[in-house]
């Protein structure tokens, strides 16, 4: 048996060694792209060789399995090598842009990335793409020369052994290395496999204590902070302003303060900073924490995309909580409804209505995105068109990055950035700061409108994350706002992870400065201020926030401002409480009335928006005027099942430059940009000509 194995090893030895050498080379190239430094890559290869082996084991496990199945050495190796090269390039691009690594879940966000490509594409990205294609061609040619054997036979024993060895090495890694290790330590490919596991930061004792505390929190909960409850049901408007941040913290010299009104509004608002889970992107994660009170600390990482990956059934949220109190819950987001799967998530969250870009007409764009002026008009319209009090969640798009595309002519710049940085940094800042200026103007306009309105209204206004201002925090580093800390270090501090907020009402305008808190605590904070009835889980979230208002993965801060380490029991119990709340979120374990906070079917979701109705068609002089309800500029009009062009006049009228005939069949469909049906009208058959 041993002699037979030795013979097979002798037969395949050089093939295996060549494969190891090839894949080590690919790993080196991927790490070089990530680290952007030959010295740093070599340093990692030499001094973290144990983790290099983890990356190699990950690759060899997959490669050996494929070779066991296909027996095609050359084809398998070429495909595998080029795939790893492309993955490495994508990872390095994402890391440069957002300072977070590629994850397995990102495979489900390809459509979202492609949607942003028109704003992201530039000459430099085309050059990089060209280099990658050439590199793949060169790699394939070299592999053709290196791999003399094209197909392999009688190889199962050798590659089965490699599989066993790889699994054993990775098993050792699971025990030896923490799942939260930074990618600069683990390497890219091992990060992908290592990050799929969640190591909970607490033990069974903490879980037991957490369960007892949850029950006690619910039993003893009292709300003594309802300072905005003088009106029973004010409109509640939450505006998550894209990349809104206090740029003044960078210490730049500017011709004026681009967020002057926001700063002035603090004098008549509750205000402070919120710790958000993401930077430079991942908007929906901040949104998730605000709407649900749940934390990203329940997931493998703060950049795990919850909406498309974890919400698959009805859940409680601010939408259902306010609806329970008699509100109409409306979400507004001037972008594609399918992005981050919002159209399904908002239904599961219990919104009555989600007005996305498909339902919007005569858009005003800035830099390719819907302006805040247009979005503010939509908020005002939602208030005016609804008799019930409105809970509105608006996610803006105007100041979305990246900021390297063309947005403004020089005579359109109101705020000059006078500090001299690199050309790239100054260009990013010019676009971003001008976008902030426009957002500030629209906040001022909305507040002015509400001050003149007789409807009591509360506004929560904040940013979803800091903007991405160049690769590897370019503008932040050049301005001196931060030093040369690693990305993982920066993501465990408040400098790059906290955004400002104001909570303002048009009936109680008293300043109150608050200490920094997690975004996940804002929902309970808001409900308490308004005196709104809330589910038991929110009462527990409120209690956690009062004891420990700031919780990061590497430390927390208690109510006295003292730093708490993850090894301390109080930290473990706080995270264990959140874990149990999430695990039992939609059950009756902690809330016998839990079904009151979930809309199991939400049958009326978007019913009003989707009620497209053709009521009349009148022809004369080779044109037809079609009238009805809920017409949209982006819909498709069919005459006898053939799409025809039309002039959009308004939501009740369109004009076709064609005379219709008796018995012609008219219908309309509203589709997503990729052709998925959102809504359709009635079939309207033309009567004898009018």
Q: Are residues 517 and 564 in the same domain?
A: no
- Sheet strands (E) in 223-350: 235-241, 270-275, 328-333
The model's pLDDT over 381-396, given as tens digits with 9 standing for 90+, comes to 999 999 999 999 999 9
The model's pLDDT over 321-342, given as tens digits with 9 standing for 90+, comes to 999 999 999 999 999 999 999 9
Shortest CA distance to 340 belongs to which of 300, 283, 402, 400?
A: 283
In a domain, 543, yes or no: no
Q: Is residue 347 pLDDT above 90, yes or no? A: yes
Mean pLDDT within 375-385: 98
In a domain, 594, yes or no: no
Q: Which residue has the higher pLDDT, 103 or 444?
A: 444
In a domain, 13, yes or no: yes
Q: Are residues 494 and 437 in the same domain?
A: yes
Domains of the chain: total: 4
Three-class SS state of 262: helix
pLDDT band at residue 1, thresholds of 50, 70 and 90?
low
Compute φ and ψ for 586, nearest 5 degrees: -110, 30
In a domain, 604, yes or no: no
pLDDT of 131: 72
Contact at 8 Å (CB) between 560 and 570? no
**Structural domain that includes position 625:** 613-685
Rg (CA), the chain: 28
Q: Are residues 166 and 310 in the same domain?
A: no
Three-class SS state of 309: helix
In a domain, 540, yes or no: no
Q: Which residue has the higher pLDDT, 13 or 602?
A: 602
In a domain, 83, yes or no: yes
Q: Are residues 458 and 325 in the same domain?
A: yes
pTM for this one? 0.90
CA 660 – CA 664 distance, rounded (Å): 7
Q: Are residues 337 and 266 in the same domain?
A: yes
Q: Are residues 127 and 26 in the same domain?
A: yes
The model's pLDDT over 557-583, given as tens digits with 9 standing for 90+, comes to 999 999 999 999 999 999 999 999 999
Compute φ and ψ for 58, nearest 5 degrees: -60, -45
Mean pLDDT within 142-146: 70
In a domain, 388, yes or no: yes
Q: Any idea of the CA torsion for 405, 406, 407, 413, to the nearest 10 degrees?
A: 120
Q: Is residue 530 pLDDT above 80, yes or no? A: yes
DSSP 297: G
Q: Average pLDDT of the chain? A: 91
Q: Are residues 388 and 463 in the same domain?
A: yes
Mean pLDDT within 130-140: 73
Q: Are residues 10 and 144 in the same domain?
A: yes
CA 550 – CA 557 distance, rounded (Å): 5
Q: Are residues 415 and 561 in the same domain?
A: no
């Amino acid at each position: 048996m041993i002699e037979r194995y030795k013979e097979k090893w002798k037969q395949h030895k050089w093939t295996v060694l060549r494969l190891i050498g090839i894949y080590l080379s690919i790993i080196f190239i991927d790490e070089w792209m990530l680290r952007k430094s030959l010295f740093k890559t070599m340093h990692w290869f030499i001094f973290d060789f144990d983790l290099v082996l983890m990356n190699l084991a990950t690759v060899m496990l997959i490669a050996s399995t494929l070779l066991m199945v296909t027996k095609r050495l050359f084809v398998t190796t070429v495909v595998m090598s080029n795939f790893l090269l492309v993955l490495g390039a994508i990872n390095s691009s994402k890391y440069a842009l957002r300072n977070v690594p590629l994850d397995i879940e990102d495979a489900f966000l390809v459509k979202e990335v492609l949607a942003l490509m028109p704003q992201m594409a530039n000459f430099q990205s085309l050059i990089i793409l060209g280099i990658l294609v050439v590199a793949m061609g060169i790699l394939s040619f070299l592999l053709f020369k290196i791999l003399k054997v094209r197909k392999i036979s009688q190889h199962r024993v050798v590659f089965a052994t490699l599989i066993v060895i790889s699994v054993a090495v990775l098993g050792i890694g699971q025990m030896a290395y923490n799942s939260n290790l930074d990618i600069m330590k683990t390497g890219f490919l091992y990060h992908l496999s290592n990050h799929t596991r969640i190591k909970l930061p607490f033990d069974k004792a903490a879980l037991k204590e957490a369960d007892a505390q949850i029950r006690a929190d619910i039993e003893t909960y009292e709300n003594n902070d309802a300072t905005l409850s003088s009106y029973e049901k004010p409109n509640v408007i939450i505006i998550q302003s894209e990349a809104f941040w206090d740029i003044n913290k960078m210490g730049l010299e500017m011709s004026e303060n681009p967020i002057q009104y926001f700063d002035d509004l603090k004098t008549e608002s509750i205000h402070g900073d919120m710790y958000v889970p993401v930077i430079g992107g991942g908007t929906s994660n901040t949104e998730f924490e605000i709407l649900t009170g749940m934390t990203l600390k329940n997931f493998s990482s703060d950049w795990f995309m919850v909406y498309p990956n974890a919400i698959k059934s009805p859940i409680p949220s601010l939408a259902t909580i306010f609806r329970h109190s008699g509100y109409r819950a409306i979400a507004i987001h001037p972008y594609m409804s399918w992005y981050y799967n919002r159209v399904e998530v908002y239904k599961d969250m219990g919104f009555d209505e989600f007005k996305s870009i498909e339902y919007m007409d005569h858009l005003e764009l800035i830099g390719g995105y819907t302006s805040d002026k247009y979005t503010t008009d939509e908020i005002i319209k939602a208030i005016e068109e609804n008799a019930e009090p409105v809970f509105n969640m608006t996610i803006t798009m105007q100041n979305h990055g990246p900021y390297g595309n063309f947005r403004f002519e020089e005579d359109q710049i109101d705020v000059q950035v006078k500090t001299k940085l690199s050309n790239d940094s100054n260009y990013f800042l010019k676009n971003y700061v001008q976008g902030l200026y426009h957002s500030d103007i629209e906040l001022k306009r909305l507040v002015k409108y509400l001050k003149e309105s007789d409807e009591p209204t509360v506004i929560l206004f904040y940013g979803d994350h800091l903007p991405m201002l160049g690769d590897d925090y370019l503008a932040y580093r050049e301005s001196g706002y931060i030093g040369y800390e690693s990305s993982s270090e920066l993501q465990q501090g408040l400098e790059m992870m906290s955004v400002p907020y104001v909570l303002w009402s048009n009936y109680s305008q008293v300043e109150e400065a608050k200490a920094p808190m997690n975004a996940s605590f804002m929902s309970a904070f808001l409900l308490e201020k308004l005196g709104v009835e809330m589910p038991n889980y929110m009462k527990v979230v409120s209690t956690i926030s009062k004891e420990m208002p700031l919780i990061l993965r590497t430390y927390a801060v208690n109510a006295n401002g003292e730093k708490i380490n993850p090894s301390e029991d109080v930290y473990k119990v706080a995270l264990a409480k959140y874990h149990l709340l999430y695990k039992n979120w939609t059950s009756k374990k902690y809330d016998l009335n839990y079904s009151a906070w979930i809309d199991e079917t939400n049958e009326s979701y978007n019913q009003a928006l989707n009620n497209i109705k053709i009521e009349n068609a009148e022809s004369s002089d080779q044109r037809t005027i079609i009238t009805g309800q809920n017409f949209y500029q982006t819909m498709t009009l069919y005459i006898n099942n053939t799409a025809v062009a039309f002039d959009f006049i308004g939501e009740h009228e369109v004009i076709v430059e064609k005379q219709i005939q008796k018995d012609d069949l008219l219908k309309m469909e509203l589709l997503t940009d990729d052709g998925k049906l959102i809504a359709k009208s009635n079939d309207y058959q033309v009567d004898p000509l009018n």
